[in-house]
Amino acid sequence: APQYENIKIDVVGEKKNVGLIQLNRPKALNALCKPLFQELGKAVKDFDADDKIAAIIITGNEKAFAAGADIKEMQNNTYSTNVRGGFLQEWEDASNCGKPIIAAVNGFALGGGCELAMLCDIIYAGEKAKFGQPEINIGTIPGAGGTQRLPRYVGKSKAMEIVLTGNFIDAHEAEKMGLVSKVFPVEKLLEETIKLAERIGTHSPLIVKMAKQAVNQAYETTLKSGLHFEKQVFYGTFATADRQEGMNAFIEKRTPNFKNE
Ligand code: CAA
C-alpha cells in the first residue's frame, strides 16, 4: 500500500468493501495543503479503481474535519503564481470519482473543509460539527466550490448569509437547511457512516455508478436535458445483467446476486 504523510487509509466494513480516508494533519486542524490534496486524490483514484471497494468515506478527527485551505501555504501567493500553478486545481480530482464518496464530519468543516465535504456525494455529521465559509474574514472568498455548491445545497439567502458573514453553523442547522443528510452523536458518526456505505455496497456497483451520474446531472444542466439524460441512463440499465438479476430476484422473492455486469 502507498505510504501517505497527510492522510491515513484503511479498508473497513464487515465485507471489507468500504475505503476509509482519514485526513491526518491534526496539529493544523487538517488544513488542506497541496501535498494532502495530492495524496487524497491518489487515494480516491485507487479506491475508485479497486473492484472490491463499494464506497469511500472521507473523515477527519473529533476536533476538525478540515479547517480550510492551508493559510500558511497561501499567505504569500500572488495572482500570477495562482494562475501559473493552477492553485487548488487538484481539488476537483476527487469529484471525478465514479463511486459514492461520503463525508463524515466531526468538528470544524470550514472554508475548503466545507467545500471538500460538499464535493462528496452525501454528508453525515457528528452533533458538534461546525460548518462555515469564513474566507471573508481573511480577505478572500471561497475558491473551491463554496460560492457555487453551497447555494445548490441551501438556496441563495442562506448561502449568501454564510459566505458574507463568515459565521459558523452547527450540525443541526446544517441538517435543517439540507447541507447535511443526518446528524449523529460524535462517537457514533463513523460507525453510522460505515453502515451507510455498506448499505450502498449491497447494490450493484454498476447501477450505483449510473445512479450517481444521473443525480449529478441535476446540478449540471437544465431540467429538460437532465430528464433526457436520466431516461437514457434508465434505459441503459436494461442493457445490464444486474438489472435483469434485480428484477428476477424480486419476482422470485430472493436476494439478488449482483455481478457488476
Ligand atoms: N490553515 C493553516 N493552519 C491552520 C488553519 C488553516 N486553515 N486552521 C487552523 N490552523 C492551525 C493554526 O494556525 C494553529 O497552528 P499553530 O498551533 O501552529 O498556531 C492550529 O491549526 C490550531 O488552530 P487554532 O489555534 O486557531 O485553534 P482554535 O481552536 O483556537 O480555533 C478555528 C479553531 C476557529 C478553526 C481556527 O483555527 C480558524 O479560524 N482557522 C481558520 C479557518 C479559516 O479561515 N478557513 C478558511 C481558509 S481559506 C480557504 O479555505 C480558501 C478556499 O476556499 C479553498
Task: Identify whether the C-beta of residue 255 lies closer than 8 Å to the C-beta of residue 202.
Answer: no
- List the catalytic residue out of 55, 69, 103, 214: 69
The cell 504523510 sits on which residue?
5
Instruction: Give CA–CA dist 232/238, Å, rounded.
Output: 10
Percentages helix, strand, coil for the chain (3-state, rounded to 5) are 50, 15, 35
Domain boundary among 200, 218, 241: 200
135 is catalytic: yes
pLDDT in tens, 38-72: 999 999 999 999 999 999 999 999 999 999 999 99
List the Cα angle 231/254/102 in 5-degree steps: 55
pLDDT in tens, 184-193: 999 999 999 9
Distances (CA, A) of 194 to 15, 51, 215: 11, 18, 22
Which of 30, 34, 71, 105 to mutate for ligand 1's pocket (most ligand atoms within 8 Å of CB)?
71
Question: What DSSP letter does each residue of 27-80 carry, written as one string?
Answer: GGTT-B-HHHHHHHHHHHHHHHH-TT--EEEEE--SSEEE--B-HHHHTT--HH
User: Do 100 and 217 share a domain, yes or no?
Assistant: no
pLDDT in tens, 207-220: 999 999 999 999 99
23 inside domain = yes
User: Do 156 and 243 share a domain, yes or no?
Assistant: no
Task: Identify whether the C-beta of residue 134 lies closer than 8 Å to the C-beta of residue 162.
Answer: no
User: Do 108 and 170 share a domain, yes or no?
Assistant: yes
User: Do 135 and 21 share a domain, yes or no?
Assistant: yes
Please compute Rg for the chain using Cα positions. Answer: 19
Q: What's the chain's average pLDDT?
A: 97
Structure confidence at residue 92 as a pLDDT band (50, 70, 90): confident
Task: Answer whether 132 contacts ligand 1 (Cβ < 6 A).
Answer: no
69 is catalytic: yes
2 inside domain = no
1 inside domain = no
Which of 27, 29, 148, 169 to mutate for ligand 1's pocket (most ligand atoms within 8 Å of CB)?
29
Instruction: Give CA–CA dist 111/120, Å, rounded.
Output: 15
What ipTM goes with this model? 0.97
221 inside domain = yes
User: Do 162 and 241 share a domain, yes or no?
Assistant: no
Question: Which ligand 1 atom sits nearest the alpha carbon of residue 137?
Answer: 44
- List the catalytic residue out of 66, 68, 103, 135: 135
Residue 131's H or E segment, with its range, is strand 130-132
List strands edge to edge, sheet with 169-170. Answer: 64-66, 108-110, 130-132, 169-170
**For residue 147, pLDDT beyond 80:** yes
Q: What is the pLDDT of residue 93?
A: 85
What's the domain range around 240?
A: 205-251
**For residue 1, pLDDT beyond 80:** no
Task: Answer whether 19 contacts ligand 1 (Cβ < 6 A).
Answer: no
Q: What is the pLDDT of residue 2?
A: 79
